[in-house]
Structure formats: structure tokens, C-alpha cells
Structure 1
Amino acid sequence: MVDFPNNPTRYDPYKAFMFQIYFGSELVAGMSKMGALTRTTAPVSHRVGGDPSHDRRSPGLTTYTSVTMERGVTHDPAFEDWATKVSSPISPGISLPDFRKDVTVNLLNEAGQVALSYLLHRCWVSEYTALPALDAATAGTAIQSLKIEVEYITRDIAVPEPTETAV
């Protein structure tokens, strides 16, 4: 079996540093890090009456872990605007019509082509860090972050494997 059907001479898997993230249809600027997309199905143990010596397991509730996204602090208000829809000191309460967003995560190949795309459905912000701890003794970049809750994840199967051409 070939790992890359459209590119049989490719042997290397895709790299984790080439990606794009969209909130709805808007590309988010400066993304530097994103947590893993993880789905967990809890096992449900049960016993069969005629075989009391051991238990059996069936799939139970499936959950999706929260995803943390990080980027350098910029003037782009995308993180703050979305976080404010869940909670704001100016207008308390949730903006019910639009506090949830669908998020698209595109994994790119080394040529910048979209190789895989995942859709994170009905997400909302549960934690927002506007500024990190500041320290004049370091030369690090100021990073802001969002922690989003995800209802479910699907792979966008309409995105084909890109055809890679020689330079």
C-alpha cells in the first residue's frame, strides 16, 4: 500500500509547522501553535448473565478534548472578539446568535498546498489569555491564547491529496 497515492515517490509524512486556521471564513493571523485534535470514546463495561467470570466492553460516550491555540500578540482582534462573545464586562451574558464558530484547520505540505483539512464544529471560547506574564529579563515573544471547546471534529474529505510537482 502506498502512503501517498497521488505522490508515490513521497516517503516523508507532513510536517507539524505548516498550518492555517480559519474562524468561520476568516484566516487568523500569526498562529504559532495549536493543541492536538483528540477524540475519546469511554468504554462501558457489562456482564453477560451466562458468563459471570469476566466483563465485556462496549463503546460509550464520545468526547472531544478542548483545543488551545496560541499566537504572538498583534493588533488583530480575532481572539478577543470571539472571547468577548462568551463573556464581557461591558455587556454581561452570552451573545447567543454567534458565540459558537466552526473552525477549519488546514495542514499544508512543504509547498504550501492544503494536504489535509479538519472541521471543528460548534466551538466556543472557554479560556482567553490576552497577555502572558511579562518579564523584562527575557527576550521572548508575547503570546496570547484561546482554549476552545469542540462539539465534534470531522475531516473534510473534499480536500484531495495535492499533486506535488518537481521544481
Structure 2
Amino acid sequence: MAEFTVNPLRFDPYKNFKFRLKWDGRYVAGISKVSALKRTTQVVKFREGGDPTISRKSPGLNDYDALVLERGVTHDLAFEAWAAKVWQIGVAPGSEISLADFRKDVILDFFNEAGQLAISYKIYRAWVSEYQVLPDLDANANAVAIQHIKLENEGWERDTSVNEPTEPSFNSTSA
């Protein structure tokens, strides 16, 4: 089991607004929202024939919820290029999907308020199941245009090589 270093001076939980998402070895521009990492284990109920009053429970299959990524519409083609690997319209029959590389491992890096890497998760064998290029458009609205992709995945795990950072202290001088 991995050992974690613990910062005895940190009492506050991390805030949820400093994160970056990486695939293909680079951070993806402009990600403003990532849905929760969630795993559900099915419950298998069974009953022994000689015990009519109690049903027993044991763990069954695990299911990992899809990840939804949101960002403002930009000229960065990362979302579109990945979504096109799952389905491309207008190509020759039999080549609509890129079976060789439509799945990617994704890294979700989580930073403390000082911008130091605090926690990292590896998300395995993700692929785009839904892609929204543009939101509903409204000429009377005052909002950022948001696009999103939904990533199915086959599990995730915490990168235990990322230790809790030593947080900076700023020296103040009194005048």
C-alpha cells in the first residue's frame, strides 16, 4: 500500500475550482466543468434455502458513471477531433469509426489554491458517447456559449505518486 505524506498545517478541504484535464500528453484548453467521478457497485441479493427470514447481500459488477466535460466554444479542435474518431459522417462505409484509437486514458489533475498539484486521477479507456458542438442560441441572452462531451470510461484510480504539496508561506514585513 502506498504511503501518503500529510501536511499537518492543512485543515481546510480543497476547493473545487482549480483543475485541469489532460489527454494525449497535453492539457485541454478551457475546461470549465467536469462532472463527478462516481463508481456504483451492484448489489447481488441471495437467500439460503434454510433461512426464510433474511436475504444476504454481496458485491456484484462495478459501473463507472460517464464524465461530462464543459468548456466555452473556442477554435481549439480537441473535443471535435476526439468525437470524430467515434463517428465521421460522409466517409466511406466501414471507416466511420477509428477502432485503433477512439479510446484514450485521461488524467484529471486537481490543484490547491496556490496552484500546486494536490491530487491526480487516471481515467481509463474513455471514449466520446455524446458531443454537443453549440448550445441553444439566443440573441437576447448574455452568456458564454458552452460545448460539452460525454466520456464513457472503464474505471479510474488515484495516482498515489502525487503527494500533498508543501504549501507556500508568504513572509509579511511590518513597516
TM-score, reference length from structure 1: 0.94
Larger strand fraction of residues: 1
2:43 corresponds in structure 1 to 43
Look up the equivalent residue of 1:126 and give its one-letter code.
S
Match of 2:13 in 1: 13
Alignment deviations for residues 58-80 of structure 1 (CA, whole Å, 9 cap, x no partner): 00010000110000011100000
Q: Which stretches in structure 2 are left out of the alignment for 5+ residues?
A: 171-175
Partners of 1:27 and 1:57 in 2: CA distance: 42
The answer to whether the 8 A contact 2:110-2:117 is kept is yes
- Give a deviation string over 1:57-104, Cα, whole Å, max 9, x none: 000010000110000011100000000000011325210111000110
Give 1:144 shift.
0.5
Q: Deviations over 1:5-31 (max 9, x none)?
A: 532121110111000000131210001
Give 3-state SS (helix, strand or coil) of 1:52's partner. Answer: coil
1:143 counterpart residue number: 146
How many pairs align? 164
What's the RMSD between the two structures over aligned residues? 1.3
Shift, 1:127, TM fit? 0.3
Distance 1:100 1:26 in 2: 16
Correspondence list, 1:1-167, <5 A: 6-91=6-91, 92-167=95-170
Alpha-carbon distance between aligned partners in 2 of 1:43 and 1:124, rounded to the nearest angstrom:
27
Contact 2:41–2:59 under 8 Å retained in 1: yes
Moved more, 31-40 or 45-54: 45-54
Sequence identity percentage: 53
Rounded Cα–Cα distance in structure 2 between residues aligned with 1:17 and 1:117: 14
Contact 2:114 2:168 in 1 (8 A): no
Which SS does the other structure have where 1:40 is aligned? strand
Instruction: Specify the code of the residue in structure 2 equivalent to 1:73.
Output: V
For the residues of structure 2 that align with 1:127 and 1:90, how far apart are their CA atoms?
19
Kindly name which structure, 1 or 2, has the bigger radius of gyration based on alpha carbons.
2
Unaligned runs of 5+ residues in structure 1 are none
User: How far apart in 2 are the matches of 1:146 and 1:6?
Assistant: 35
- Structure 2 Cα separation of the partners of residues 38 and 153 of structure 1: 9
Q: Check conservation: 2:129, 2:152, Cα contact below 8 A.
A: yes
